[in-house]
């Protein structure tokens, strides 16, 4: 746009938005309420549009790939968490800490439950 057209659009928008303040006796309460409501809808609409754009660009989406899927992450302590990750058909329980990522155990798809102490003894 040319500079001249930008100035015209700016001043016309400013006059439309500020007109009720200058001519309050010209309009009734209903007309002024409608103009205020329309201005509010425009502002709220702009906020929603900006939020949608920010959600697409800034906020990370959950990445579900073809072969690796993060099933669940649980925070255990400050900067330490457990992650259940499915790689192809194998589920892995990972420990995530500032020192690195370590595989704790590989979970089978079987339905039999093992005792926690037995799992702990087997993996130490």
Confidence of residue 52 (pLDDT cuts 50, 70, 90): confident
Q: Quick: pLDDT tens for 7-51.
A: 677 777 766 666 555 555 566 778 888 888 999 999 999 999 888
**What is the pTM (predicted TM-score) of this model?**
0.41
Residue 111 has pLDDT above 60, yes or no: no
The three-state secondary structure class of 124 is coil
Compute how many other C-beta atoms are within 10 angstroms of the C-beta atom of residue 19: 14
CB 82 within 8 A of CB 90: no
Query: Nearest-CA neighbor of 108 among 76, 124, 123, 86?
Result: 86
Which tokens hold the place of 95?
């420990």
């Amino acid at each position: 746009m040319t500079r001249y057209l930008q100035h015209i659009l700016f001043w016309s928008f400013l006059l439309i938005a500020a007109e009720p303040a200058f001519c309050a006796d010209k309009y009734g309460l209903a007309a002024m309420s409608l103009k205020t409501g329309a201005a509010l809808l425009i502002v709220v609409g702009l906020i929603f549009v900006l939020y949608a754009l920010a959600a697409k660009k800034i906020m990370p989406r959950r990445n579900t790939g073809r072969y690796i899927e993060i099933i669940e992450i649980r925070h255990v302590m400050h900067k330490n968490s457990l992650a259940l990750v499915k790689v192809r058909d194998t589920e892995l329980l990972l420990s995530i800490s500032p020192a690195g990522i370590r595989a704790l155990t590989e979970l089978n798809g079987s339905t039999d439950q093992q005792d926690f102490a037995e799992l702990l003894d087997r993996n130490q």
